Amino acid sequence: MKSNIKKIWLSSLLFMISRPITLLPFLAIAFLEALALEFIYFAPRKPVSIIAGPLIRKFFGEAPMHYPFNFNIFPELFYGAQVAIHALAGAFLMGLAVNMFRNLKEGLPVKSKALVRNALKRYMAFFAYGVAAVLLILLLKKFGVYAVPKAVRLLSRFLPLGAMKIMPIVFSVVMFTLDIVIQAFIILTIPIIVLEKKSFIRSLLGSACLAAKNFGAIFSMIFFPFFLYLPISMLKWFSPQLSLRMFPELPLLISGAGIIAALFLDCFVLMAASTWLMEKNK
Mean per-residue pLDDT, 240-248: 79
pLDDT tens digit sequence for 216-240 = 999 999 998 888 888 888 888 777 7
pLDDT on residue 1: 46
| Res 2 pLDDT > 60 | no
pLDDT tens digit sequence for 21-63 = 999 999 999 999 999 999 988 888 888 888 888 888 888 888 8
| Cβ-based neighbours of 216, under 8 Å, separated by 6 or more | 1
d(CA 91, CA 186): 12
C-alpha pair distances (Å), 224 with each of 66, 69, 94, 264: 40, 36, 20, 14
Query: Is residue 152 very low, low, confident or very high in pLDDT (cuts 50, 70, 90)?
Result: low
pLDDT on residue 27: 95
